[in-house]
Copies of this chain bind each other. A is one copy, B any other.
Amino acid sequence: MSVITIERKVLEKNDEIARQNRALLAEHRILAFNLVSSPGAGKTSIVERTLEHLGKSLKVGVIEGDVQTDFDAQRVARYRVPVIQIVTNGGCHLEAQLVQDALLQMSLPGLDVLIIENVGNLVCPANYDLGEAFKVVVLSTTEGDDKPLKYPSMFRNASVLLVNKIDLIPYVNCNLSALKSNALQINPHLQVFETSCTTNAGISDWCGWLRKKGAHRS
């Protein structure tokens, strides 16, 4: 029995549980997305800004994934929304089973949107379906404009790219049009928003898009 066979079996089992999660979310008409990025690109800040923007009109729940600590759940809990922290204890990505366990702990009726914030990792989470409607990848300008070409799977599998920390453009070596062109070369269907969680630039555009997606679910 080869390692490759084992890996395929792990992925097949994950996909089966992801299908169950997707069915459960559909039953409750919840729009769920899987938020992925490198460590420190600003995922949790994006969650916070999204809650500030949408929290009054939509009921949003959050699942936080981290290797260690519940810092992110603590940050999100200040917004008085349902939040569950998953600690992977060294695991480099969320899997569908962990998300299913969290869904079973969460009160789903009445939720409009579920944000699943993955572990900070631009490689491994690309391969694991969690049952989400789509993936949103956050890339910060400080990481450099070549990253979509160097880590293509994540950009290929995502529907939305949030180019975050655009307020830092004057101070870093990042060509914004090269970054976007590299991302669209990997995935021409990417919906791209330029955001800053410091200045709030782009947040209303991103949330407007998300609200429309939410209105069209069911």
Tell me the complex Cα distance, A90–B153, Å.
8
Say if the beta carbon of A40 comes within 8 Å of chain B.
yes
How many copies the complex holds: the figure is: 2
Q: Mark A73-97, 1 if CB is under 8 A from B, else 0.
A: 0000000000000000010100000
Complex interface: chain B residues within 8 A of A119 (CB)? 123
Complex interface: chain B residues within 8 A of A122 (CB)? 38-39, 120-121
Q: Enumerate 28 A-B pairs (CB-CB under 8 Å) in ascending A order.
A: A1-B1, A3-B6, A3-B10, A38-B40, A38-B122, A38-B143, A39-B122, A39-B143, A39-B147, A39-B150, A39-B151, A40-B140, A40-B144, A40-B147, A67-B150, A67-B151, A67-B152, A68-B149, A68-B151, A69-B146, A69-B150, A71-B146, A121-B122, A121-B124, A142-B165, A167-B171, A168-B172, A173-B198
**A→B interface (CB under 8 Å):** 1, 3, 6, 10, 38-40, 66-69, 71, 90, 92, 119-124, 140, 142-144, 146-147, 149-153, 165, 167-168, 171-173, 198
